[in-house]
């Protein structure tokens, strides 16, 4: 299997299977001085939390590195493809040599592999994951469906995660730092206007609101700014509210009780794909 064929199948596709011939395993696995390895410029992960990293440091001191780092040759040394947390933790632990697997991949293959491997390991915060999906779509011209197959996640999950990038920088930072959850972030997306979103964030952080409380506050903020409903909308207010909860966007019902139409708002092709996916289910 070539490196290109292995892309989209995760890290395991580039690591020898258990039961592979002993000579092949010995040839693939080698030890390397830790100072010879450099981080990858394609690493999608920007945040390395101190506490989990320290736990890995303690584990390496006690048991060593159980899984080799994946690298490619670069100049006189090596460049990481996967395993930056292990590499950082090994440095802290005072380890001088680490096990490596050397693979021959191009820049584009390395970028794709780094993104997919990090997503599959769930090492990224939601904003890093959203940026990784977007980068896969833009740089490799992949559809959301193709990205979902490569990373092994539902297409709706991919679409909803990418939507997080529409949030103001302050909210994205809070989400990346774990101050708010994905549930909170989805509530922000249903609120029009940056000023209202910032007001909601201030109330959320000061009051320690749960996701349900945040959703209730969003409803109140949307109601204040909404024009008086037309007669048909008033008659179907319960249905409208239920549909908006399910579809995560604005809904209008126009017409009379026996005949009319439902209008569904969307703001981008990705948004439309997400709504269609929800309706299909």
> Catalytic residues, which ones?
84
Copy the structure tokens of residue 230.
Answer: 């037309």
Torsion of CA 245, 249, 253, 254, to 10 degrees: 170
Structure token digits, residue 11: 């890290």
Region of 17 on the Ramachandran plot (φ > 0 left; ψ -120 to 50 alpha; else beta): beta
Radius of gyration of the chain (CA): 24
d(CA 20, CA 107) in angstroms, rounded, equals 28
DSSP 17: P
Say if CB 134 and CB 56 are below 8 A apart.
Answer: no
Angle ∠(53,79,58) on CA atoms, nearest 5:
20
Distance of CA 253 to the CA centre of its chain: 35
- Label the pairing between strands 251-255 and 37-38: unpaired
What is the C-alpha to C-alpha distance for residues 107 and 238, in angstroms, rounded to an integer?
A: 53
Helix/strand/coil for 103: coil
| Residue pointed to by tokens 């390895």 | 37
CA distance 43 to 50: 18
> Using alpha carbons only, what angle is made at residue 135 by residues 161 and 72, rounded to the nearest 5 degrees?
125
Residue 119 to residue 103: CA distance in whole angstroms: 20
């Amino acid at each position: 299997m070539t490196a290109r064929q292995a892309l989209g199948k995760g890290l395991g596709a580039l690591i020898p299977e258990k039961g592979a011939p002993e000579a092949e395993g010995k040839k693939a696995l080698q030890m390397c001085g830790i100072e010879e390895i450099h981080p990858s410029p394609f690493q999608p992960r920007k945040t390395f939390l101190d506490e989990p990293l320290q736990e890995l440091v303690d584990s390496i001191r006690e048991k060593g590195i159980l899984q080799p780092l994946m690298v490619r040759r670069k100049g006189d040394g090596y460049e990481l493809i996967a395993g930056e947390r292990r590499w950082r933790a090994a440095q802290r632990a005072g380890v001088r040599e680490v096990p490596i697997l050397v693979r021959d991949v191009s820049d584009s293959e390395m970028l794709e592999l780094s993104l997919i491997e990090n997503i599959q390991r769930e090492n990224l915060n939601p904003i890093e994951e959203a940026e990784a999906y977007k980068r896969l779509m833009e740089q490799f011209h992949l559809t959301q469906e193709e990205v979902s197959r490569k990373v092994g996640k539902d297409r709706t999950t991919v679409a909803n995660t990418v939507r997080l990038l529409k949030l103001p920088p302050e909210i994205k930072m809070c989400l990346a730092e774990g101050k708010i959850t994905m549930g909170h972030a989805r509530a922000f997306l249903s609120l029009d206007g940056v000023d209202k979103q910032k007001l909601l964030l201030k109330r959320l952080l000061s009051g320690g609101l749960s996701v349900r409380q945040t959703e209730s506050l969003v409803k109140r903020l949307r109601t204040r700014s909404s024009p008086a409903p037309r007669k048909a909308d008033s008659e179907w207010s319960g249905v409208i509210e239920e549909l908006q909860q399910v579809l995560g966007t604005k809904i209008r019902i126009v017409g009379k009780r026996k005949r009319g139409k439902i209008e569904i708002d969307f703001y981008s092709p990705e948004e439309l794909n997400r709504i269609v996916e929800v309706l299909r289910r």
